[in-house]
Structure 1
Amino acid sequence: MSTITVNPSGKVFESLEGETILDAALRSSIMLKHGCRDGRCGDCRTTLANPAPAGAISYPETLLLEASDRAGETVLCCQAVANQDLVLTAPEVTELEGISIQKLMSRVKSKEAISDDVMVLKLMFAPGSEFPYFPGQYIDITLPNKVSRSYSMASQTPQDNAVELHIRLKPDGEGTPYIFNELATRKMVTVEGPFGSFYLRKTKAPIIFIASGTGFAPIKAIMEQLIDLQGEANINARPVTLYWGGRSEQDLYMSDLCERWAKAFSWFKYIPVISDQKDNWSGRTGFVHRAVVEDYSALGSYEVYACGAPIVIESARRDLVNDCQLLPTNFYSDAFI
C-alpha cells in the first residue's frame, strides 16, 4: 500500500498493491484528470511534485511512455502503480470536487434515429436518484448482452431524470448494432460514471470548439452550460466559435440547433465543415481543424475544446500549437477511442 498526496488541495488517498493511481483515486472519490483510462490518450498524465526514483512506479511492459514518465517527472495515472508514497501536483482536483463515481441501473426511456447512422438514446434513472456530473463528461454503459461502451452526456444536466447520449452506428461492432436493433425501450442497462476531464474551465478566455461527428455530444452539453452562464444580452460574454466537421452534411445531425444558437446569441458563431465536397454544399470543406488554422494565426489567448476521433484530436493539438501559437495547456480534448 502506498500513500498518494495531491497538491495543492492536500487530499490524501491510499493505493492498494497492484492498483493504478487513477483507480485508487476514483475509489476514494478523488477525481484526477483522465480520459480514455487505457493509456492511449495521455489526458491523465500528471506532474510529480518531486521526481520519483527508479522503481517507485510500475507500468505495463508494453506501454509506450513519454520521456518525462520514464524520468519520473510525470506519471500516467491510469496505468501507473505506485510502489512508494508519491506527491502529485493536480490543481484540477479542486474544480472537480463533489463529483464521484457511481454505478446504478437505468431504464431506456427513448430511442430516436436522427440520421441514417446516429441515434439519440435517453437513459432514465430510478426516481429519487441523483447523478451529478460536469457537462462534457462521459459514462460507461453495460448492455444486456454484457458489452460495455463509453458515451458522453449530451445535456448539461439530466432532463426528467434521464441522460442523453448520441450514438453512431458501427455496423461491425458488438455494442452499437445491439443498441440500434435490439435494445428496446424500458430495458435496463448499467451506468457507471461520470468519467473524464473534458469540462469548461472557469476563465474568461475566448473559446473554440472543434467537434467531429458525435463528438458534438459533450460540446452540446457545455454549450447549454455556457448559455445559462452568459445569457443572450451579456455584452461581456466569452466569444465562442464551434467548428463541427463530418464527411457529409448528414453527419452534422443537429446543425439546425447550432444555427439557432448562432441567431440567438451574439457571442456564438457556428462554422460547419465537411470533408467530402458535394456539388450542393457552399460551406467550408476539408479537415475541420484545418479550418481553424486557416481562420486564426494567433491563439495564445484562447482555449480550445476538441472532441471526436483520435486522429482529429491529435492533428488539432499538433497544428494549433505549432501553427497558431495555442498554449498546450489550453487545449482540452476528449478522444473517442
Structure 2
Amino acid sequence: MSYTIALNFEDGVTRFISCKEGETVLDAAYRHKVNLPMDCSDGVCGTCKGTCEQGAFDLGDEYIDEALSDEEAAEGKVLTCQMVPSSDCVVQVPVASTLCKTGVGEFPGRVAEVERLSEDSFELVVDLDEGEGLTFLPGQYVNIQVPGSDETRSYSFSSLPGERRASFLIRNVPNGLMSGYLTGAAKPEDDLTLTGPMGSFYLREVERPVLMLAGGTGLAPFLSMLRQLQARGCDQPVRLLYGVNVDDHLVKLDELDAFVEALPDFAYTTVVADAASEHPRKGYVTHHMAPELLHDGEVDVYLCGPPPMVDAVLAHFREQGISPASFHYEKFAPSLAPEEAKKEAVA
C-alpha cells in the first residue's frame, strides 16, 4: 500500500510523491529526488519541520522536544523525518521548491475541444498525453503556454484530479492573447504545454459546512471541488453563491443542477449584477449572504473571483464582524502578465 503526499512549497509549487507504508515523508521525498530540508534525519534538529494540513500520520516518540514541541505538534507541525503517513496527506514545506532541487512539473497535451459558453467565457478541454493524468488538489491551477507564443496564462482546473482529460473555464478578455487564440486559431490536436500544479487555494478536508463564493469564471475551481466531493462523498452542507455581471455570463448551470442531485446536501444560488436583468436575485453575492449560510462562524469559506469582488467580500466580512472557522480566497486578473495573473491568500 502507498499514499499520495502533496508537498506544497512556499513559492506556490506543488509536487506529488508516493509514500510506501511505513516510510517517512522525508525518505519518500528523497526517493523521488526531492531534497526536503534536513540535517540530522533523527528528530533532533528540527530542520525538516513542516505543517500537515490534512491526512493521518504517526510521528512516533523518537524526536526531542527542542525539535518539535507538544504545542507545535498540536498545531499540526510535523518533522518529515519522523512522519509516517497512514493516509493521503497535504504537507506545507516552508521553503521554495528550487531549494529542494525540484520545481514545477511540465505536462504535454493537445486541444480536445474549445466551446464558447457565453459572450464572456470559453471552456477549453485538453487531452493529456498517455499516462500523464495530472494530479492536483481541487482548486489549484496550471500555467498554459499560448500556442504560437512564449507566453503563458494561468487557469484553474474545472475537472477532477487525476483524469487524462482536463478542463478549464477561460474568460474572454478583449485583445487577450489566449482569448485571441481560442477565438480564431485553436483547432483540435494543437499541442499545449501545461506547467503546475500550483496554488494554495484548494479544498481542505471537509469537517464542517462549506460556503463557496464564485465570481464569473471563478466558478472553475468550485466545479473541480464539487467533482471531488461527489467522488469521495460528503455529509456536510455545501452552498455556492455564484455571481456574474449579466444574465448571459451564467454558465454550467446544468452541471450545478447535476451536483444538486448527486450530493446529499448541496444547493446553489445565482446572482446577476446588471440592474436591468430580470433575474430574481440582482446585485452582488454580499447582498444575498443569508446568516444561515455562515452557521455562526462554524463554516469554511472559499472565495474565487476578480479582485473587486474579492475585495468587496473581504470588506463585507470585516464590516459585519464575520470570522469563519477557515477562510481561503483567490483573486485573479486575467489581463495581467502571467506571474501577476493569480494571487492566492489563506486567512
Q: Which amino acid aligns with 1:267?
A: D
Give aligned pairs, total: 257
Inter-CA distance 296–323: structure 2 relative to 1 (3 Å threshold): farther
Contact kept, 8 Å, 1:104 with 1:192, in 2: the verdict is yes
TM-score normalized with structure 1 length: 0.67
- Could you tell me which of 98, 101, 106 is aligned with 1:103? 106
What does 1:245-324 align with in structure 2 at a 5 Å threshold? Answer: 245-278=243-276, 280-281=278-279, 283-292=280-289, 296=293, 299-323=296-320
Q: Which amino acid aligns with 1:307?
A: C
Q: Distance in 2 between matches of 1:181 and 1:92?
A: 43
- Partners in 1 of 2:52 and 2:91 — Cα distance? 11
Kindly provide the amino acid, as one letter, of the partner of residue 211 in structure 1: A
1:121 aligns with 2:124: yes
CA distance in 2, matches of 1:157, 1:101: 17
CA deviation after TM superposition for structure 1 residue 260, in Å: 3.3
**Does structure 1 residue 332 correspond to structure 2 residue 328?**
yes
Q: Deviations over 1:110-130 (max 9, x none)?
A: 111122231111111211223
Q: Secondary structure at the match of 2:220?
A: helix
Q: Percent identity?
A: 25
Determine the C-alpha separation between the residues in 2 that align with 1:249 and 1:127: 39
Deviation at 1:104, TM superposition (A): 2.3
Mapped to 2, the partners of 1:26 and 1:195 lie a distance apart of: 5
Q: C-alpha displacement at 1:256, in angstroms?
A: 2.6
Query: 2:200 corresponds to which letter in structure 1?
Result: S
Deviations 1:222-266 (A, max 9, x none): 0111122226xxxxx110110000011211111232233334544
Q: What per-residue deviation string (whole Å, max 9, x for no partner) do you get for residues 173-193 of structure 1? A: 222212221122111121100
CA contact (8 A) 1:296 1:324 kept: no
Q: Which residue of 1 aligns with 2:27?
A: none
Q: Give TM-score, length-normalised by structure 2.
A: 0.65
Conserved in 2, the CA contact under 8 Å of 1:155 and 1:224? yes
**Counterpart in the other structure of 1:156:** 160
Structure 1 residue ranges without an equivalent (≥5): 1-8, 12-20, 32-84, 232-236
Residue range with higher mean Cα deviation, 149-158 or 207-216? 149-158
Shift in CA distance, 182/279, structure 1 to aligned 2, threshold 3 Å: closer
Residue 293 of structure 1: CA displacement?
A: 5.5
* 8 A contact 2:239–2:267 mirrored in 1: yes
How large is the RMSD of aligned CA atoms in angstroms? 3.2
Match of 2:237 among 236, 239, 242: 239
Change (3 A) 1:136 1:297: closer
Match of 2:66 in 1: none
